[in-house]
Amino acid sequence: MKGKLLRVLRILNYSSEYLITLYNSTKNAIFVLIYLTKESVLKVFFLIFIMSIGSVTTHAQKRNFQLKMKRVKRTFKAIPKSLIDEVKNADLIALGKKLYFEKKLSVNNSISCNSCHQVDNFGVDNEPTSPGHEGKRGGRNSPTTFNAAFHISQFWDGRAKDLAAQAIGPILNPVEMGMPNEAAVISKLSKIKSYVTDFKKAFPGKEKSLTYPNIGMAIAAYEKTLITPSRFDDFLNGDENALTFQEKRGLKKFMGKGCATCHRGVALGGDHYFKIGLVNEYKTKDMGRFEVTKRDGDQKVFKVPSLRNIMKTGPYFHDGSVKTIDAAIELMAHHQLGQKVGPGFIEDVKAFFTSLTTNKKFNK
């Protein structure tokens, strides 16, 4: 009986989602029947029936998921334990952390890196765009500093080649920290005794340790510690129960739809650039990577953002215009893939995204 049912189901190629809906509605209908039936023989029959559908659906679900593990492991990569030797580089990291929280790096001592990239809030400020030292806002959303170390380059348009090159940008950016020039930054820090010692310790044997590029080096070392393992990594490392059934179904849909062609690898993004509006135009004045390369093909091209901790890092997109994750998923399917998605897709992909949220805490 069970074998036959399974065969029928396989032939019809019911999706697992359909099976569950079918199972749940049949189950409810049968419970009503059991309740209404006076004959106890019929009651037993209905109970056996309901149990057999139950085991058939679980079996079908299991089969479904064993199939794709190879592809999952080819598409994504578990996060490594560490990107920097935290013992050997303890002084450098400690200095980087101090600088990351240092409000004196802004012209009026009002903001630090942490104002826009809060480490106790998944590396973001949850603002569409961020207020700088004068409260003025730039045109782009602050991406998270978490896992940025995995990206091929930094910024939405990839204009900084790595974290060290990136970190020295905001200090002089007039809408961000607004310091007038490099010399002013060095002179300000040199007047703080502890920094003179800290830089000497972090860059031993160098004649000049308190230099502008070294500020970037130290901050970058600290940022390399901001990497966030999650349940998805446990899953990739072989713990099949690390994800709930719905989360696995979301993962399957995410891959099946084509999202993982762009959001892949260790950060589920960050490893290449793509145009926003690949299939259906996305209206934005921001020309993205074109501003860096001046190549026509790079208009509206952005670095594919990482999706680690994505449930916590809204609002979304380079312009911060998308308030909810539901809308972000729907817009992605429309603009990048030319597809419509239903509520089932959104709910399941969201469930999968929850498995990308870290439990790791970073303190000040």
Tell which one of 128, 170, 178, 250 touches ligand HEC (CB under 6 A): 170
Angle at 275 between CA 270 and CA 278, to 5 degrees: 125
Residue whose pair of structure tokens reads 């026509």 in the numeric block: 296
Is-catalytic flag, 176? yes
Question: 175 near 138, Cβ under 8 Å?
Answer: yes
Contact status, residue 154 vs residue 143, Cβ threshold 8 Å: no
171 binds ligand HEC (CB under 6 A): yes
Site for ligand HEC in 112-141 (CB under 6 A): 113, 115-117, 130, 132, 138, 140
Chosen residue from 122, 195, 302, 352 binding ligand HEC by CB under 6 A: 302
What string marks each residue from 217 to 256 as x (binds ligand HEC by CB under 6 A) or -? --x-------------------------------------
Give Cβ neighbours of residue 114 (< 8 Å, ≥ 6 apart). Answer: 100, 101, 364
Tell me how long the chain is: 364
**Using the rule CB under 6 A, is 155 a contact of ligand HEC?**
yes
Q: Which stretches does DSSP call E strand in the chain?
A: 273-275, 301-303
Query: Which of the stretches 29-37, 46-54, 111-119, 227-235 binds ligand HEC when contact is defined by CB under 6 A?
Result: 111-119
Residue that has been written with the tokens 């089932």 in this structure: 344
Is residue 309 close enough to count as binding ligand HEC by CB under 6 A? no
Pick from 349, 352, 355, 358: which binds ligand HEC (CB under 6 A)?
349
For the residues of 257-324, what is the DSSP string, one character each? HTGGGTS-BTTTS-SSEEETTSSS----S--BTHHHH--GGGTTEEEPPP-TTGGGS-SBSTT--B--
In Å, how far are 2, 39, 43, 61 from 47, measured between CA atoms?
15, 13, 6, 21
The residue among 217 and 333 lying less far from ligand HEC, judged by its C-beta, is 333
In angstroms, give the least distance from the CB of 52 to ligand HEC.
36
Residue from 79, 107, 148, 210 in contact with ligand HEC (CB under 6 A)? 148
Tell which one of 179, 304, 351, 356 touches ligand HEC (CB under 6 A): 304
N-term to C-term CA, the chain: 62
Of residues 79, 97, 146, 176, which one binds ligand HEC by CB under 6 A? Answer: 176
CB of 279 to ligand HEC, least distance (A): 8
Q: Which of 251, 267, 333, 351 binds ligand HEC (CB under 6 A)?
A: 333
CB neighbours of 334 closer than 8 A, spacing ≥ 6?
A: 279, 280, 340
Residues 24-53 that bind ligand HEC (CB under 6 A): none
Q: Measure the CA–CA gap between 157 and 343, rounded to whole angstroms.
A: 32
Site membership for ligand HEC, residue 329 (CB under 6 A): yes
Rg (CA), the chain: 26
> If binding is defined by CB under 6 A, does position 258 make contact with ligand HEC?
yes
Among 93, 95, 218, 332, binds ligand HEC (CB under 6 A): 332
Among residues 102, 176, 223, 330, the one annotated as catalytic is 176
Task: Give the nearer residue to ligand HEC in terms of CB position, either 37 or 246.
Answer: 246
Please classify residue 362 by burial: count the beta carbons closer than 10 Å to its beta carbon, then call 0-12 exposed, 13-18 middle and 19+ buried: middle
In the list 57, 60, 95, 151, the residue contacting ligand HEC (rule: CB under 6 A) is 151
How distant is the alpha carbon of residue 7 from its chain centre?
39
56 vs 215 by CB, closer to ligand HEC: 215
Active site residues: 176
Which positions lie near ligand HEC, rule CB under 6 A? Answer: 111, 113, 115-117, 130, 132, 138, 140, 142-143, 145, 148, 151, 154-156, 163, 166-167, 170-171, 176-177, 219, 257-259, 261-263, 274, 276, 278, 302, 304-305, 310, 313, 316-318, 328-329, 332-333, 336-337, 349
